[in-house]
């Protein structure tokens, strides 16, 4: 066991190091105000700048936490500090908004230091003292106050560049002191002496399958994410609302940061003494009251009295506002300590990974909330709207915590009479306790009917998800005509970003069904589509809407892309092996029709006032009126209806909810990665061509009204996918996929040929025909690759688990094939980002799209070889 002296030394210098990292992490809260003036940034652009380091620091927390568990917190912490110092110094050389954002991503590494320190400190202290130790360490949040207190004076005297340089040098000095005066954890030393191999990534990620971890993450989203968001936002709030200078605003905002930091140690002590649960109850109750008070806007009242009217006003002055903020920060600090008291108690062997995901979600709050504050200020036009959002957030967290605790108590003490609400949650109904699709008698008796109902409710939800995912491919074509002065490259970015975010979300969505259940997650994920739908409908009506707002909305459209992974994974569990190919083809193929529908319907609905005056005023284009907002608002009622139907009529499968940890094994299977590559070639091409074709055709054939024909390609691809699942079931997915890549190579060569003669009158029709061939081939390939996955993993698991009962082999094969279907769909979806970007970069750099097309041909040739070598040649390990 490590000595008390070593414990104190490590805790002291780790806390100092974290304080320095936090000061760097929030540096834009002060220098961003001057940068905003220098570059003339809007409120939303300013929000994005100060939030970008928070995003980067949040996203790296999971991997840094795992590395801290694997290799030790001390070397990882040192690397984080030195990297952050380097990017902070580089900030002084940034001379444009784009360079500022890029450098801010690197500075964000400093925020990832928190979970590294949690993993490090928790291994040095015994269980009964961990809460206090982690609370003291968490006081490093006071780094935000250090920046607010000192940076304004340095900036006013020497400029914001000096602030960045001083903070960078200080971080390097503290990093050296940290390394000298700390020691490695005993567990890491013992592992090195025993030459033991660290836990694999899959093992480290297993706890993330527990819903409890995600509940803790929501708590931290409020207590930490909300703290960071307000710490960044308050200087600007004080300046704008109370007309204070930046020095005074920084000092007053520092009171909140101090309250939200120094009392974290006290929160750890209270958690050790009275229990983290009690502390969380007090935290949420008091924070809810404070947020409600702060959200009340300054208001003028006129009362009609007996002797006449008399007026009075209500509003928080600077003093009262600051006092309430101090109380809010105090209880947030207690809550932060209480959340992290839970982690080493419940997950002592996985502190890094669990702290990583909790810290990641909490840090995302620090990124998302400032942007939301900016948007609400711009569009709601009430300064206190930020606190309205905070009140809603804490209310949801409080309710979820209370319901979860009551359910746990009633499971532990079943003799307690249960209220009707809790009894209903345990009754048979939407949750299928027994599900045996491979049992012929069960399948004919009830399985087929239930599976079909879930399939036909899944299809419209997926249809809407694809429609929202691809809505930008049509909307961007209309933006220049209605007054948005965006460049061609900016328009390609709007087309590509939904693909990037959708593909990234699919990685997480792949594992959501086991966590939430297929019914619940289908309803939740469908309802979330309302965010980009309503946002786009509002934004396109105002030509002064900043470009970053459109970027955010484009990223949110990726929610639709993420739905595919969870939808396919969910449906795969319902059907027996012999029918999976056709079921998945129907779900995906008919769902893919959403792409075609949006490209067919949007050009029609934007020219009619279909909502009367409810959707806003039209945009004038010459003598024509357009209602571009209809492109988004059209889907709102259908999204609501689909979410409600999914919630009430779909099913969760009980066995599936416990399988997420074992699904992590797919990352060790070579066939998972092979199928990811092949699916990039098929679905990645389908979705990428769908997103890019309208803009590519318009740029290459400007005299042709190609927008009216854009929907045909995705329609062909969707129909061939829905109608070709049987062919893969009958002839083998590998053989069909082999033919698909041959056709795609020929189709791409044809596109190149007709682009080469695009001045000829018939060139567009040849160009269009070649794209129809490509779309048809991708549709068949989408179905055949997903038919291959269950076959491959059945053979793979049968070989690996030889001698095990057939039921165990079946469960393992189904579990892993469902996970691979979801994960490969995530990787394949990156085509929606890279294909439009490839066209855009090729045109920008070389004046033509030819270079991008040659790259596609080479990639399809690689996919052709991999399909032949691994799955269809005579000596292949797995034949399919």
Report angle CA 111, 113, 116 to the nearest 5 degrees: 145
Could you tell me the two tokens for 199? 């836990």
Q: What Rg value do the Cα atoms of the chain yield, rounded?
A: 28
427 pLDDT exceeds 60?
Answer: no
Give the tens place of pLDDT for each residue, 620-656: 777 778 888 888 888 999 999 999 999 988 988 876 6
Strand stretches in 533-623, DSSP E: 619-621
Q: How many CB atoms lie within 10 A of CB 343?
A: 28
Among the ranges given (199-203, 249-253, 725-729), the one the predictor scored with the smallest mean pLDDT: 199-203
What confidence score (pLDDT) does residue 40 get?
A: 82
Find, among 164, 297, 109, 148, the residue nearest to 231 by Cα: 148
832 pLDDT exceeds 70?
Answer: no
Confidence of residue 169 (pLDDT cuts 50, 70, 90): very high
Mean confidence (pLDDT) of the chain: 80
Q: Are strands 619-621 and 624-626 parallel, antiparallel or unpaired?
A: antiparallel
Give the tens place of pLDDT for each residue, 484-504: 888 776 777 777 778 778 777
At 82, is the secondary structure helix, strand, or coil? helix
For the chain, the farthest-separated pair of C-alpha atoms sits apart, in whole angstroms, at 100
Highest mean pLDDT among 190-204, 335-349, 530-544, 712-726: 530-544
Find, among 798, 776, 616, 648, the residue nearest to 712 by Cα: 776
Q: In the beta sheet, which residues pair with residue 312?
A: 301
Kind plus residue range of the DSSP H or E element containing 300 = strand 299-305
Query: What length is written for the chain?
Result: 880
What confidence score (pLDDT) does residue 83 get?
A: 92
173 pLDDT exceeds 90?
Answer: yes
Is the Cα dihedral 680, 686, 688, 689 positive or negative?
positive
Kind plus residue range of the DSSP H or E element containing 481 = none
Give the tens place of pLDDT for each residue, 770-795: 988 988 998 888 888 877 888 888 78
Among the ranges given (155-164, 315-324, 582-591), the one the predictor scored with the smallest mean pLDDT: 582-591
Confidence of residue 208 (pLDDT cuts 50, 70, 90): low
State the Cα–Cα distance between residues 752 and 65, nearest whole angstrom: 48
State the Cα–Cα distance between residues 36 and 47, nearest whole angstrom: 10
Cα 165 to chain centroid distance, Å, stands at 33
Q: Evaluate whether 363 touches 123 at the Cβ level (below 8 Å).
A: no
What confidence score (pLDDT) does residue 423 get?
A: 38
400 pLDDT exceeds 90?
Answer: no
Q: Evaluate whether 733 touches 790 at the Cβ level (below 8 Å).
A: no
Confidence of residue 426 (pLDDT cuts 50, 70, 90): very low
Give Cβ neighbours of residue 41 (< 8 Å, ≥ 6 apart).
35, 49, 97
Among the ranges given (87-91, 147-151, 661-665), the one the predictor scored with the smallest mean pLDDT: 661-665
State how far the alpha carbon of 189 is from the alpha carbons of 72, 73, 81, 197, in Å: 9, 12, 22, 12
Question: Nearest 5°: phi and psi at 314?
Answer: -130, 135
839 pLDDT exceeds 90?
Answer: no
Find, among 534, 537, 535, 533, the residue nearest to 616 by Cα: 537
- Give the HSE-up count for residue 432: Cα atoms under 13 Å, Cβ half-sphere: 22
Give the tens place of pLDDT for each residue, 117-135: 888 888 888 777 777 787 7
What confidence score (pLDDT) does residue 201 get?
A: 61
Burial 250-277 (b: 16+ CB within 10 A, else e): bbbbbbbbbbbbbbbbbbbbbbbeeebe
46 pLDDT exceeds 80?
Answer: no
Rounded average pLDDT over 328-355 = 79
Confidence of residue 417 (pLDDT cuts 50, 70, 90): very low
State the Cα–Cα distance between residues 522 and 565, nearest whole angstrom: 11
Q: In the beta sheet, which residues pair with residue 432?
A: 653
Report angle CA 726, 727, 733 to the nearest 5 degrees: 110
Question: Nearest 5°: phi and psi at 302?
Answer: -125, 120
CA dihedral 118, 122, 123, 129 (to 10 degrees): 160
Rounded average pLDDT over 576-605 = 78
What confidence score (pLDDT) does residue 522 get?
A: 92
183 pLDDT exceeds 60?
Answer: yes
847 pLDDT exceeds 80?
Answer: no
Confidence of residue 862 (pLDDT cuts 50, 70, 90): very high
State the Cα–Cα distance between residues 692 and 696, nearest whole angstrom: 6
Q: The tokens 């960044």 sit on which residue? A: 232
Give the tens place of pLDDT for each residue, 719-769: 887 777 677 777 888 888 999 999 999 999 998 888 888 888 788 888 889
What confidence score (pLDDT) does residue 864 get?
A: 92
Residues above pLDDT 70, as percent of the chain:
89
pLDDT top residue among 403 and 662: 403
Rounded average pLDDT over 82-106 = 87
Cα 873 to chain centroid distance, Å, stands at 40
Could you tell me the two tokens for 813? 């094969």
Could you tell me the two tokens for 818? 């469902």
At 624, is the secondary structure helix, strand, or coil? strand
Q: What is the DSSP letter of 313?
A: E
State how far the alpha carbon of 676 is from the alpha carbons of 257, 281, 298, 683, 866, in Å: 45, 45, 55, 10, 11
Q: Evaluate whether 63 touches 86 at the Cβ level (below 8 Å).
A: no
What confidence score (pLDDT) does residue 514 get?
A: 73
Q: How many CB atoms lie within 10 A of CB 785?
A: 28
pLDDT top residue among 532 and 406: 532
Residues above pLDDT 90, as percent of the chain:
10
Give the tens place of pLDDT for each residue, 278-323: 888 889 999 999 988 888 887 777 777 777 777 767 677 888 888 8
DSSP string, 683-708: IIHHHHHHHHHHHHHHHH-TTS-GGG
679 pLDDT exceeds 70?
Answer: yes
Confidence of residue 527 (pLDDT cuts 50, 70, 90): very high
What confidence score (pLDDT) does residue 551 get?
A: 85
Cα 60 to chain centroid distance, Å, stands at 13
pLDDT top residue among 608 and 196: 608
Rounded average pLDDT over 46-51 = 74
pTM passes above 0.85 = no
Confidence of residue 197 (pLDDT cuts 50, 70, 90): low
What confidence score (pLDDT) does residue 202 get?
A: 63
At 819, is the secondary structure helix, strand, or coil? helix
State the Cα–Cα distance between residues 105 and 54, nearest whole angstrom: 8
């Amino acid at each position: 066991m490590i000595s008390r002296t070593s414990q104190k030394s490590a805790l002291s210098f780790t806390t100092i190091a974290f304080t320095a990292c936090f000061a760097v992490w929030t540096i834009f809260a002060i220098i961003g105000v001057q940068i905003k003036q220098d570059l003339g940034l809007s409120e939303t652009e300013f929000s994005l700048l100060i939030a970008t380091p928070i995003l980067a620091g949040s996203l790296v927390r999971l991997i840094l936490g795992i590395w801290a568990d694997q290799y030790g917190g001390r070397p990882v912490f040192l690397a984080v500090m030195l990297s952050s110092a380097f990017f902070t110094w580089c900030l002084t050389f940034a001379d444009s908004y784009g360079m500022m954002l890029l450098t801010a991503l690197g500075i964000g590494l400093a925020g990832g230091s928190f979970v590294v320190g949690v993993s490090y400190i928790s291994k040095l202290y015994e269980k009964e003292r961990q809460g206090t130790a982690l609370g003291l360490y968490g006081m490093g949040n006071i780094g935000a106050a250090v920046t607010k207190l000192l940076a304004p004076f340095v900036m006013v005297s020497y400029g914001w560049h000096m602030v960045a340089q001083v903070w960078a040098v200080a971080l390097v000095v503290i990093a050296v002191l940290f390394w000298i005066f700390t020691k490695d954890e005993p567990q890491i030393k013992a592992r090195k002496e025993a030459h033991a191999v660290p836990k694999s990534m899959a093992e480290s990620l297993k706890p993330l399958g527990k819903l409890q971890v995600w509940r803790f993450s929501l708590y931290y989203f409020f207590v930490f994410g909300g703290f960071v968001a307000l710490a960044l936002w308050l200087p600007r709030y004080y300046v704008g609302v109370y007309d204070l200078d930046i020095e005074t605003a920084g000092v007053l905002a520092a009171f909140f940061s101090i309250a939200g930091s120094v009392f974290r140690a006290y929160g750890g002590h209270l958690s050790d003494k009275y229990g983290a649960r009690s502390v969380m109850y007090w935290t949420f109750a008091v924070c809810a009251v404070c947020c409600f008070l702060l959200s009340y806007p300054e208001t003028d009242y006129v009362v009609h009295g007996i002797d006449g009217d008399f007026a009075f006003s209500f509003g928080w002055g600077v003093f009262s506002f600051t006092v309430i903020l101090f109380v809010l920060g105090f209880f947030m600090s207690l809550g932060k300590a209480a959340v992290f008291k839970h982690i080493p108690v419940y997950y002592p062997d996985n502190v890094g990974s669990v702290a990583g995901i909790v810290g990641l979600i909490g840090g995302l709050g620090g990124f998302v909330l400032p942007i939301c504050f900016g948007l609400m200020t711009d569009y709601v036009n009430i300064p206190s709207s930020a606190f309205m959002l905070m009140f809603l957030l804490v209310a949801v967290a409080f309710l979820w915590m209370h319901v979860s605790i009551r359910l746990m108590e009633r499971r532990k003490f079943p003799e307690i009479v249960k209220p009707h609400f809790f009894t209903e949650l345990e009754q048979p109904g939407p949750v299928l306790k027994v599900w045996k699709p491979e049992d012929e008698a069960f399948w004919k008796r009830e399985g087929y009917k239930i599976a079909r109902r879930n399939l036909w409710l899944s299809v419209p939800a997926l249809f809407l998800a694809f429609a929202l995912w691809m809505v930008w491919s049509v909307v961007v074509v209309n933006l220049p005509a209605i007054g948005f002065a965006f460049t061609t490259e900016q328009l390609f970015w709007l087309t590509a970003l939904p693909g990037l975010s959708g593909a990234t979300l699919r990685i997480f969505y792949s594992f959501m069904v086991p966590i939430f259940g297929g019914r619940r997650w289908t309803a939740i994920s469908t309802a979330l589509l309302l965010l980009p739908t309503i946002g786009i409908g509002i934004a396109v009506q105002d030509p002064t809407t900043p470009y970053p707002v459109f970027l955010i909305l484009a990223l949110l459209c990726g929610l639709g892309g993420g739905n595919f992974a969870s939808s396919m994974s969910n449906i795969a569990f319902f059907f027996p092996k012999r029918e999976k190919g056709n079921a998945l083809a129907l779900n995906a193929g008919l769902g893919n029709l959403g792409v075609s529908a949006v490209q067919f319907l949007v050009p029609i609905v934007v020219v009619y006032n279909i909502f009367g005056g409810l959707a806003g005023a039209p945009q004038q284009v010459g003598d024509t009126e357009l209602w571009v907002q209809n492109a988004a608002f059209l889907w709102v009622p259908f999204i609501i209806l689909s979410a409600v139907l999914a919630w009430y009529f779909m099913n969760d499968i009980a066995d599936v909810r416990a399988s997420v940890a074992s699904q992590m094994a797919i990352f060790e299977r070579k066939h998972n990665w092979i199928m990811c590559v092949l699916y990039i070639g098929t679905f990645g091409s389908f979705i990428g061509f769908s997103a890019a074709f309208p803009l590519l055709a318009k740029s290459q054939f400007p005299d042709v009204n190609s927008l009216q024909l854009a929907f045909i390609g995705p329609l062909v691809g969707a129909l061939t996918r829905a109608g070709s699942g049987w062919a893969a079931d009958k002839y083998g997915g590998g053989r069909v996929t082999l033919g698909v890549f041959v056709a795609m190579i020929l189709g791409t060569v044809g596109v190149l040929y007709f682009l080469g003669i695009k001045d000829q009158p018939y060139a567009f029709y040849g160009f269009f025909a070649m794209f129809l061939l490509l779309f048809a081939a991708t549709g068949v390939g989408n179905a055949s690759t997903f038919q291959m996955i269950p076959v491959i993993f059945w053979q793979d698991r049968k070989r690996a688990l030889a001698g095990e009962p057939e039921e165990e082999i079946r469960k393992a094969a189904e579990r892993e094939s469902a996970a691979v279907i979801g994960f490969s769909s995530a990787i394949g979806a990156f085509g929606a980002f890279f294909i439009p970007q490839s066209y855009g970069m090729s045109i920008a750099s070389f004046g033509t799209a030819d270079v991008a097309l040659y790259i596609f041909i080479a990639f399809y040739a690689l996919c052709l070889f991999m399909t032949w070598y691994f799955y269809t040649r005579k000596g292949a390990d797995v034949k399919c």
